[in-house]
Structure 1
């Protein structure tokens, strides 16, 4: 089980500050750590932005999938630097 640092109710954060605060929280995680966010809509744009900023590092687990409330666990995993974010480098998983 991934150690959780905290649960963040993003509904209490001003909309224009939400993603920046969550990026800071993600950046502060060590590999293997995670936090949970609570939101009133599906946070797909946040996921895309996090994965764009930190390819291969984001673990995204939907714990509650609406319709009124979403809870998502966001964790950090070790990035595969030698694979350009693709952990199947060298054919280790049969992908290449």
Structure 2
């Protein structure tokens, strides 16, 4: 299992989801994509849950590390 971290805080909002989806697709089964974001990525979680078959929703976790810093873990089955 490996972990890839993607900080999207400086990515324009319209480019974030495509960039995250591309990074997730590159993972192997059992890997985790860790997203650093400026807000809780709940809409992204729901998007992945509905559209990405390889997303392990039960393994998803998010924590707020400080103002404007949320870290979310998107595991791949």
Give the alignment's TM-score, normalised by structure 1.
0.67
Structure 2 unaligned regions, length at least 5: none
Task: Please give the residue correspondences for 1:7-86 in structure 2 after superposition, counting only pairs within 5 Å.
Answer: 7-55=5-53, 57-58=55-56, 59-62=59-62, 64-65=63-64, 68=67, 69-77=69-77
Q: Which has the higher contact order (CA 8 A, sep 6+)?
A: 2
Greater Rg over alpha carbons, structure: 1
The Cα of 1:65 is off from its aligned counterpart by 2.3
Q: Which runs of 4+ in 1 moved over 2 A?
A: 55-59, 64-67
Give the alignment's TM-score, normalised by structure 2.
0.81
Q: CA RMSD in A?
A: 1.7
